[in-house]
Structure 1
């Protein structure tokens, strides 16, 4: 959500002006400014005492995420050396900055993590992204020597991710490829006959779970040849098997007696070559608790 204000007269401080204009408490406004949600004449401003001139445009961007900065801990770091870091992202964390926040994103948390190690001006390359609700593996290059190679791997689809997803019903056939052209319209990704970007999704049924009241849901293994925004969510929805928890694309918000707060999608496996040593690397993390709780199977069946 965005609120916009045009100043009729000068104001001595940004925080006082926004608290008065928005009706929010000064304490909350200070946090929003610190997180990067205040913009003056199109530029992000994080100084509370920034003076304002008559005629300036002030925008206040708000989101639904906590005003507590996310910080990396040992449980999130799967691999780290001087060139590369692999992170197991939890749900609810934005990967990159938005108009509403600079602080509290995974990118900013990584900057903070590297500064804590004595790297005062971290150099970070972002070559993958995950939706805020998606959990699992993604990698960043953290040294200039690694940026170009990792970017090339991403561009050539040599940097490969495998996903696990819980979807409504059981796909028929049990494995296959969805190949369409997709576009973004009104924040949704949809397939079109022509004029879109190529999107290729491979899927494989791992397990079908019957529900006591009838119906079923399934655990799928998914591999992407292309990495378009919302590609998995759109493709599965168009096959009438939307992700559980994905109300935006028609998914059920409950199953097996459980309520969902997010689309149940997890980046479980990551394969790449080290950008400097060129060693083959493969990482795998288990399902997060909300997905695992729905499955009666052993971990081996989820691989």
Structure 2
């Protein structure tokens, strides 16, 4: 049976811990190659795939005829260029979020994707998690009545890691680009619509945001969320309706953060709790990508969806008020 042979550009820690195992385990594909200038960094990847081919530079991997698809976990500022290069080399491409720094950059990716006839997408794994599909079903089926307000929060504290790429403005660091995609994209996924007005309050540090408070108005409901890389770890999303609410207790990386539960609350009724701790969202994402790449079936999270999330982030940055 045909399958996708994956290569990874760069020996990122996240790739070694999460996406490398997923690329090798997910149905329809396997991890076959890594590009890194430091051979020692290949060891964790060889533990996943003992027959791994190791290239000393990114271009060599892109020119490897044995590789069908490339996963790109490079710093944010490098995503667009290397996604374009991978498509031009005839590879399918899965690029870490955010796939671009501006919405209009994604237009060039869409054009290159279509010209190459290959699949290109942002690695936005949460839409493949059953807790988010369940949440969307609850909202769309009217279980909470009319959706009126969405609130969310996603925080962690990496203040003691000055070398982290998330703390480097020139590499596209900051809270919004790293985790704002989650509180924004998840709302768009569940509600199925785009914001009409967006504003933000931002605390800046050395040219990147470390706290961003986002407000927005969507058709029929309001929105409020904040992200931070300077607060104690915390994450939650709640969708409030006029007849009930849905809360996700570990919406973005459960059960690592905690119990991946979806709680439906309605007046006069006991809470209904659905738990999804067994779901492996990275595996599910890669399996879906493999299916689409192999069969030509529509990919559930295309670049057009990612463009909408980036457009909302762009709007928040454009209308931001600086906090002391």
Structure in which a larger fraction of residues adopt helix: 2
Q: Same fold (TM over 0.5)?
A: no
Q: TM-score, normalised by structure 1?
A: 0.28
TM superposition score normalised by structure 2: 0.26
Larger Rg: 1 or 2? 1
Q: Which has the higher contact order (CA 8 A, sep 6+)?
A: 2
